[in-house]
Amino acid sequence: MKKRKIFAALLAALCFSPAFWETAQARPHGAAAHIPRQAEKDKPPFPPYVDFGGGYSVYDPVRDKTPDEGLGVVETNFFFYGPLLVRPWTDGIVIHHVGIPDGDVSSSRIHQAHLGNGWQGIGYHYVIRQDGTIERGRPLATIGAHAYRANFHTVGINLSGNFDIETPTGEQIDALVNLLTFLCRHYHLTPDERTITGHRDVNYDTACPGYHLYVLLPEIRQAVAEELRNGGGDDFSAYDQVKILGEPELSEGQLVRYIKATNPTPQLNCSVEELVSYYYEEGEIEGVRPDLALCQAIKETGCFAFGGDVQPAQNNYCGLGATGGGVRGQFFATPQRGVRAHIQHLMAYATTRLPQQPILDERYEVLRDKYSQYYGKVETWLGLNGKWALPGRHYGEDIFRIYEEVKKY
């Protein structure tokens, strides 16, 4: 009994007591417990064009269900005290460690400790045990409580152990790479020092995730990038002959549900339903597969989060004319005209047949006149590799990876 009380006290006081609902300040490992702060001092800096209807949306387990990671994640089905809120967007992943002796701690024990602190429950989205088992924490779509001022836009992963004094197991590192690969695909993130960070990178007064894990992060990012480049072991040979021209196999409803689940606040100048219907209307007119064109748009825009050179006001969903270096590319007056230009550019690759409607795509003639080796000669989606975007070695595979996710909806 005495040992349990000591262990519970450590759990409540040390590093894996993260910031609750953006209200607590992380402290260095081995230092005092986290100190509460006022939530109103930490409201997220939403762009002015985002309208959340007066606040965050409340998590719904059906609408906001977690997709299958394919990693054997142990479901925990925790009870949370009070409603959880949905993360408005996701642009980063924060890595933590438990940071106490006897550190192979389960998500259940962390959850109970956080409830004991008067919190809603476990603040992390995943816990990776020393044998490589991944356990569910908070539902993936929800705002976490793991990194002060970064909870509303990041996923939190905790590795069991104290990596100030020990090294993560090989099984933990393998599981972490696999989980990060899934998350980067799901949220369309490039694995670098901006998107995969240690806790200390976002809260400077903590040593988390411990020296011996932190120094491995560059290699971990590189391993994730390699998995993404190589398709992470995925076999896309079944899609070798899938053509740009053709009939859709996904329904409009599947795409609407996927977009809303992946990005609850897409930066669009129309509703998600309207955008999807435009793709199906324009695709039917020209004979281009609208479902895969939308998957391509999801890839190009980060599921309509944008954030690169192309801005939401442009209604440019596939980077037409955006050649890098701050060049924004083409502007279209309405979402439907932007969709039409996207469909027309796909036609330029797939067929020499002229579009049935007036050409809006300024790059259509560029492709026809300057890149005649591609004009009308790229019949398949995988054939876009290294052509639509550079280097783009796995461009088509990325589209089909999104396609496979949408099929689950």
User: Which numeric CATH code is attached to 2-233?
Assistant: 3.40.80.10
> Would the pLDDT of 155 be above 50?
yes
Residues 110 and 158: beta-carbon distance below 8 Å: yes
Strand ranges (DSSP E) for 103-151? 126-128, 134-136
Q: What confidence score (pLDDT) does residue 16 get?
A: 42
Quote the percentage of the chain above a pLDDT of 90: 60
Q: What confidence score (pLDDT) does residue 231 get?
A: 62
Residue 3: count other Cβ atoms within 10 Å of its Cβ: 8
* 76-81, Cβ contacts within 8 angstroms, sequence gap of 24 or more: 76/107, 76/108, 76/111, 76/135, 76/136, 76/137, 78/107, 78/108, 78/111, 78/121, 78/122, 78/136, 78/137, 78/138, 79/121, 80/120, 80/121, 80/138, 81/115, 81/119, 81/120, 81/121
Quote the percentage of the chain above a pLDDT of 70: 84
Residues 198 and 167: beta-carbon distance below 8 Å: no
| Distance of alpha carbon 68 from alpha carbon 182, whole angstroms | 10
**What is the overall mean pLDDT for the chain?**
84
| Distance of alpha carbon 278 from alpha carbon 294, whole angstroms | 10
Q: What confidence score (pLDDT) does residue 381 get?
A: 93
> Would the pLDDT of 249 be above 90?
yes
Instruction: Give the mean pLDDT of 150-164.
Output: 95
Nearest to 335 by CA among 304, 359, 365: 304
Alpha-helix residue ranges (DSSP H) falling in 151-238: 170-187, 199-202, 211-214, 217-229
> Would the pLDDT of 325 be above 60?
yes
Q: Please state whether beta strands 35-36 and 24-25 pair in parallel, antiparallel, or not at all (unpaired).
A: antiparallel
User: Which of the two residues, 37 and 87, has the higher pLDDT score?
Assistant: 87
Q: Output the CA–CA distances (angstroms, integers) from residue 146 to 21, 27, 77, 97, in the order listed.
A: 9, 12, 19, 11
Instruction: Give the mean pLDDT of 68-77.
Output: 90
> Would the pLDDT of 343 be above 50?
yes
> Would the pLDDT of 186 be above 80?
yes
Q: Please state whether beta strands 154-159 and 92-97 pair in parallel, antiparallel, or not at all (unpaired).
A: parallel
> Would the pLDDT of 91 be above 90?
yes
Q: Which residues contact 98 (CB under 8 A, 6 or more apart)?
A: 14, 15, 16, 105, 110, 158, 159, 160, 161, 162
DSSP state letter for 67:
P
- The CATH number of 237-407, from 1.10.10.60, 1.10.530.10, 3.40.718.10, 3.50.50.60, is 1.10.530.10
> Would the pLDDT of 346 be above 60?
yes
Which of the four pLDDT bands, split at 50, 70 and 90, describes residue 28? very low
Q: What confidence score (pLDDT) does residue 65 get?
A: 87
The angle subtended at Cα 187 by Cα 186 and Cα 192, nearest 5°, is 115
Q: What confidence score (pLDDT) does residue 158 get?
A: 97
User: Is the peptide bond between 18 and the residue preceding it cis, with omega within 30 degrees of 0?
Assistant: no
| Distance of alpha carbon 291 from alpha carbon 335, whole angstroms | 17
Q: Output the CA–CA distances (angstroms, integers) from residue 136 to 68, 72, 108, in the order listed.
A: 12, 10, 9
Q: Where are the domains of the chain?
A: 2-233, 237-407
Alpha-carbon Rg for the chain in angstroms: 23
Angle of helix 252-262 relative to helix 395-407, nearest 10 degrees? Answer: 100
| Distance of alpha carbon 105 from alpha carbon 102, whole angstroms | 7
Lookup: tokens for 405: 């996710």
DSSP state letter for 192:
S
Nearest to 159 by CA among 82, 245, 201, 100: 100
| Distance of alpha carbon 409 from alpha carbon 43, whole angstroms | 32
Nearest to 58 by CA among 155, 141, 153, 151: 141
Sheet with 154-159, side-by-side order of all strands:
134-136, 126-128, 154-159, 92-97, 196-198
> Would the pLDDT of 289 be above 80?
yes
Q: What confidence score (pLDDT) does residue 51 get?
A: 32
